[in-house]
Structure 1
Amino acid sequence: MPIIHRLSLLVLAAALAGCASTATDSTSVPGAQAAAAPYRDTIELSGRIQVNYQKDGQPGNVTGGFEWSQQPGQIDVSLISPLKQTMAVIQVTPRQATLTEAGRAPRTAGDIDALTRQALGWSLPVSGLRDWLQGYATDAAGKRFAATPANNSVFTQDGWRLRFVSWQNGKDGVPMPKNIVAERAATAASEELALQIILDPVT
């Protein structure tokens, strides 16, 4: 079992308490009616992620930090333990996805969701996160959705319910997501999964 699964409940509780204390009410963000900042193809973000998942009928959870580096044609994600150790590194290009866990040989596949589900026990929806982290999504009708602090919930085309729970000031004071909750019900092809993401201040 990968070490990332073995984070203690004590660490989990502490991380959740930290998540709760950093949330920002959307009413405190100037321009609460404004859309999220314009989408950027090149961006670097960091924060914390909590994952609640089902595997083989049993619930599981994990929490930790992450670093997200995005540029045209490539995404790099590092998953970091509460002790600041890099637990896994994910690289996604148009040709393949690669996941490298600490102390293990890299694994590659064409589908990052399936690759992370096999390796970690839960699937990291990298394709969706590319939009979600900046306040965007593709809605159930296939249309581009741009969240605002006043219009902060959407069902996506691939079955996620997204809520942009709180916001922060990005560059030039434009709203950027701070706390994102993504939930997906179980289907024949995928497990039940819930993510909570707390983003660090945008620089």
Structure 2
Amino acid sequence: MPITRRLNLLVLAAAILAGCATPSTNRATVGAYRDSIELNGRLAVNYQKDGKTESLNGNFNWAQRADHVDVELVSPLGQTVATIAVAPGMATLTQAGRAPLSAPSIDGLTQQALGWPLPVSGLRDWLQGYAVDAQGQRFGASPANNTVVTRDGWRLRFVDWHDAAAAQPVPRIIHAERAAAGDIQDLSIRIVVNAAGQG
């Protein structure tokens, strides 16, 4: 067999094998959505306000049930900065030494109290690898399909996974960015999920 033909056959065989041997991470998608989860992690927040760059870091504890979410924001030194409770039609945010604040929308309430919007309503989905895209369609992330723009204007990237090769990988690092939110510009939130469990 001529060398040229032999090389062409080898290239063709390699291409066929490559097509058959698609890595499992390309096929993997997140597992079914769960109403009840408990997890904790870290937040790094950066944004522009009044021409100044603001940066915040801390930890969070998240407990979610079908109709309720409880969030605790904790400083790097371990002090509770705020607690958030979200129930149908009502959200309450409490900071140490201050009277609790309540509003129908948690996202607007966090911006009022914290100075930046923590997207708690979106995080119900994001922490499990889901979102609602700009067209209103349900999006399920995977290591091979990890970026989406949400219906309310967040650009999400699921950067890393606890086990990318698993049949149903779990997000570990999520980047969320938004060009503007009220008087906040260039808002970015880096979320690192340490642990997750079913409640």
Query: 2:195 matched to 1:201?
Result: yes
Q: How does 1:115-194 map to 2 (within 5 A)?
A: 115-169=109-163, 174-186=168-180, 189=182, 191-192=184-185, 193-194=187-188
Unpaired segments ≥5 residues, structure 2? 1-22
Q: What is the alpha-carbon distance in structure 2 between the residues aligned to residue 107 and residue 199 of structure 1?
A: 27
Tell me which structure has the larger Cα radius of gyration. Answer: 2
Q: What is the alpha-carbon distance in structure 2 between the residues aligned to residue 152 and residue 125 of structure 1?
A: 19
Which residue matches 2:17? none
Runs of 4 or more consecutive aligned structure 1 residues displaced over 3 Å after TM superposition: 29-32
Change over 3 Å in CA distance of 1:181–1:95 after alignment to 2: same
Which residue matches 1:11? none
Q: CA RMSD in A?
A: 1.9
Q: What is the alpha-carbon distance in structure 1 between the residues aligned to residue 145 and residue 55 of structure 2?
A: 29
Which residue matches 2:77? 83
Unpaired segments ≥5 residues, structure 1? 1-28
Query: Which AA in structure 2 matches 1:153?
Result: T
Q: CA deviation at 1:87?
A: 1.1
Counterpart contact for 1:30–1:175, Cα < 8 Å? no
Query: Which AA in structure 2 matches 1:161?
Result: R
Q: What is the alpha-carbon distance in structure 1 between the residues aligned to residue 88 and residue 114 of structure 2?
A: 22
Q: Which moved more, 1:104-113 or 1:69-78?
A: 104-113
Counterpart selection for 1:64 from 41, 58, 71: 58
Query: 2:31 matched to 1:37?
Result: yes
Counterpart contact for 1:116–1:123, Cα < 8 Å? yes
Query: Which AA in structure 2 matches 1:51?
Result: V
Q: What is the alpha-carbon distance in structure 2 between the residues aligned to residue 112 and residue 59 of structure 1?
A: 24
Counterpart contact for 2:49–2:183, Cα < 8 Å? no
Q: What is the alpha-carbon distance in structure 2 between the residues aligned to residue 134 and residue 186 of structure 1?
A: 25
Counterpart contact for 2:37–2:196, Cα < 8 Å? no
Q: What is the alpha-carbon distance in structure 2 between the residues aligned to residue 201 and residue 166 of structure 1?
A: 14
Q: What is the alpha-carbon distance in structure 2 between the residues aligned to residue 190 and residue 154 of structure 1?
A: 24
Counterpart selection for 1:74 from 65, 68, 79: 68
Q: What is the alpha-carbon distance in structure 2 between the residues aligned to residue 132 and residue 190 of structure 1?
A: 24
Query: Which AA in structure 2 matches 1:135?
Result: G
Q: CA deviation at 1:190?
A: 5.8
**The structure with more strand, counted as a fraction of residues:** 2
Query: Which AA in structure 1 matches 2:127?
Result: L
Which residue matches 1:14? none
Percent sequence identity over aligned pairs: 55
Counterpart contact for 1:138–1:157, Cα < 8 Å? yes
